[in-house]
Structure 1
């Protein structure tokens, strides 16, 4: 994920590293979501922690473990939509 031009990192809570590790442990270091094609959980290791609902709700209930590839695929369209909203102001 590119952080260039984003204020996202500065909006993370000071204890983000602790929250991140806690979520990864809670989710067994695996992607939390169920795969649509098999109905099973992805067994590849999760490396990232993602906000389920975009924004600044850092509650563990709004966080999930994801593989980097899945995180990028989810975050890219969310970022594009945010940029479109910002530009249309």
Structure 2
């Protein structure tokens, strides 16, 4: 199985006091800052693809909103940097070699 944390170096880039930062953000943002209805259970970087771990750059969000936001950001990154095509170039017709 690939995807998610398995293919990410994100965890190694977190500061050593990440657990403390995360707890303070979730204590501050009790309700999801996106949907404003469900309890916040995830600590999310407000800006995609940033390693800014200051508390004002983080928000508490629910699992559903975090999944949707991460999916949107990942899809946008793929559209911005598409992988090269995997198709083989067409072979010339045997009679034209």
Structure-2-length-normalised TM-score: 0.71
**Structure index of larger Rg:** 2
- Alignment map for 1:15-54 (pairs within 5 Å): 15-27=17-29, 29-33=30-34, 35=35, 41-42=36-37, 44-54=38-48
Separation in 1, partners of 2:39, 2:55: 19
Structure 1 gaps, min length 5: 36-40
Aligned match of 2:77? 82
Which ranges of 4 or more aligned residues in structure 1 deviate by more than 4 Å? none
Question: Please, which of 58, 66, 74 is the counterpart of residue 63 of structure 1?
Answer: 58
Structure-1-length-normalised TM-score: 0.76
RMSD: 2.0
Aligned length: 80
Taking CA–CA contacts closer than 8 Å with sequence separation of 6 or more, which of the two structures ends up with the larger relative contact order? 1
Q: Relative to structure 1, is the Cα distance of residues 62 and 86 closer, same or farther in structure 2, using a 3 angstrom cutoff?
A: farther
